[in-house]
Amino acid sequence: MNILISGASIAGPALAYWLHRYGFTPTIVEKAPDMRDGGYAVDFRGEAHLSVLRQMGILDDVQRARTGMGAMAYVNRNGKVQARMPADLFAGDVEILRGDLARILYDATKGNTEYIFGDSITSLAEDGDGVTVTFERCEPRRFDLVIGADGLHSNVRRLAFGIEAAIRHLGVYCAIFTTVNHLGLDHTGHAFRTGGKLVAMYSARHNTEAKAVFYFGSPLLDLDRHNVARQQEILVEQFAGNGWESDRLLAAMPDASDFYFDSVGQVRMDGWSRGRVALLGDAAWSPSSLSGMGTGLAVVGAYVLAGELAAAQGDHRRAYVRYEDVLREYVAGCQKMGDGVAKLMIPQNRAVIALLNRYYALIPYLPGKGMVAKMARKTAEAIQLPDYGGAFPV
């Protein structure tokens, strides 16, 4: 069976790995002209996540590329540390830059997966035998199945389901880009919070560079997602004169080649498939970047979707039903984590901010200091992965 996957970030290549392993023929189409670098740090927690990486044979590569981050600090406008947050709250068992993980997955699949860069799907026409797919640049082609693994604003979801409204805005916008590690941060990060805003900077790639991160609270903006100039203008409007390193990071922003800006949102859908088309990763269920669960969930989801297709001998009707049955409750738990973090991420009230800073300063001395990290681990491990070892190659 020939299966087209839209999206070459994390979920798409992870799915391609398993599909090939089970005897399917995967093809990946990616709108970007090449593998995209940059992005924030992502993490894996618990045996469910790590076991999938181990079975894929990439856990050692991920370990070698890990960020090795220590405790993160909240600072005041003068850069004085007010509180330190334990490393396991942010980094999980293994933390890695999204771009580095994407490259590892690409290297693991490029030898047996056709990659089409610089192109995008324009239409899907399904019949009893397959799906005719048209592209912006390539000639139309036929595939047995199509999988949308193309992120929060999924093109496949729009074409097959017609619903951008599936995205639930969490009241927060985020921007991130690579910059110079001018603070000399050593496997750590600093964050400065004011009313409705947070600006942070953390070291990356063994302190040779840094990531600048901006969060601000806002209702959904009428904004072209591809208008980078306007996005950067909005950040300047929000953060100019904000204090700490805000102005210096804003000044460096135009030079960044990997600038990213988007609303923080979740995708809520009653079903993740329609006919021969299915959704995976953020396209299906984005728990939001604040949950810390999106990447692990994408990798687990790819394992389950491919395994169910193999177990059903390519019968997508049976496989898609089982895929949702296995993952639905797990996804709901991960989304709940994202909801909780969004509410505390950037409070508007200064008194609440001061109270949180005092609480964070006391965390190392409190009996329940590891409670939040334990909750995150419990959520990440709340699934019993099926063993597809007996699934026959198609």
- Give Cα 281 to chain centroid, integer Å: 8
Smallest CA-to-CA distance from 354 within 82, 86, 72, 171 is with 82
Alpha-carbon span 153 to 163, nearest angstrom: 10
Find which of 68-72, 148-152, 165-169, 388-392 is predicted with most confidence, using mean pLDDT. Answer: 148-152
Q: Of 263, 267, 265, 262, which Cα lies nearest the Cα of 332? A: 267
Give me the chain's average pLDDT, please.
Answer: 88
Closest C-alpha to 173, from 91, 94, 234: 234
Cα–Cα distance for residue pair 107/123, rounded to 1 Å: 29
Mean pLDDT of 106-132: 97
Q: Is residue 165 predicted with pLDDT exceeding 70? A: no
Q: Is 194 a residue whose pLDDT tops 80?
A: yes
Q: 347 falls in which pLDDT band (50, 70, 90)?
A: low
Confidence check: pLDDT of 111 > 70: yes
CB atoms under 10 Å from CB of 30, counted, come to 23
Place of tokens 């929060």: 152
Q: Alpha-carbon distance 120 to 137, whole Å? A: 8
What is the signed CA dihedral for 215, 220, 221, 223, rounded to 10 degrees? 90
**Distance between CA 190 and CA 200 in Å, rounded?**
6
Higher-confidence position of 363 and 123: 123
The structure's pTM equals: 0.90
Give the per-residue pLDDT at 378. 79
Output the six-digit token pair for 253. Answer: 């922003």
pLDDT at 364: 55
pLDDT of residue 360: 58
- Cβ-Cβ contacts under 8 Å for 192 (sequence gap 6 or more): 74, 75, 76, 77, 198, 199, 200, 242, 243, 244, 245, 246
Task: Check whether 354 has a pLDDT greater than 80.
Answer: no
Residue 88 reports pLDDT greater than 70: no
Distances (CA, A) of 378 to 61, 118, 134, 278: 25, 39, 43, 28
Measure the CA–CA gap between 205 and 226, rounded to whole angstroms: 28
| Over residues 385-394, mean pLDDT | 74
Q: Is the pLDDT of residue 352 over 60?
A: no
Extents of the domains making up the chain: 2-380
Of the candidates 294, 306, 277, 305, the residue with the CA atom closest to the CA atom of residue 331: 294
Region 197-225 average pLDDT: 92
Is pLDDT of 325 > 90?
yes
Specify the residue for token string 């810390």. 292
- Tell which CATH architecture fits domain 2-380: 3-Layer(bba) Sandwich (3.50)
What distance in Å separates the CA atoms of residue 269 and residue 287, rounded to the nearest whole number? 12
Average pLDDT, integer, range 367-374: 57
14-63 pLDDT, tens per residue?
999 999 999 999 999 999 999 887 677 888 888 889 999 999 999 999 99
Supply the pLDDT for residue 41: 80
Cβ atoms of residues 109 and 24 within 8 Å: no
Q: How confident is the model at residue 380 (pLDDT cuts 50, 70, 90)?
A: confident
> pLDDT of 146-163, one tens digit each?
999 999 999 999 999 986
- Above 80 in pLDDT, residue 323? yes
- Model confidence at 342: pLDDT above 80: no
The pLDDT confidence band at residue 357, using thresholds 50, 70 and 90, is low
Contact 95, 377 (CB under 8 A): no
Specify the DSSP element, H or E, that contains 211: strand 209-217
pLDDT in tens, 241-283: 999 999 999 999 999 999 999 999 899 999 999 999 999 999 9
Both structure tokens of 91:
């980094």
Mean pLDDT along residues 236-243: 95
pLDDT surpasses 90 at 237: yes
Q: Where are the alpha helices (DSSP H) in 204-315?
A: 228-239, 246-252, 282-285, 294-311
- C-alpha–C-alpha distance, residues 315 and 257, integer Å: 43
Name the residue with higher pLDDT: 376 or 394: 376
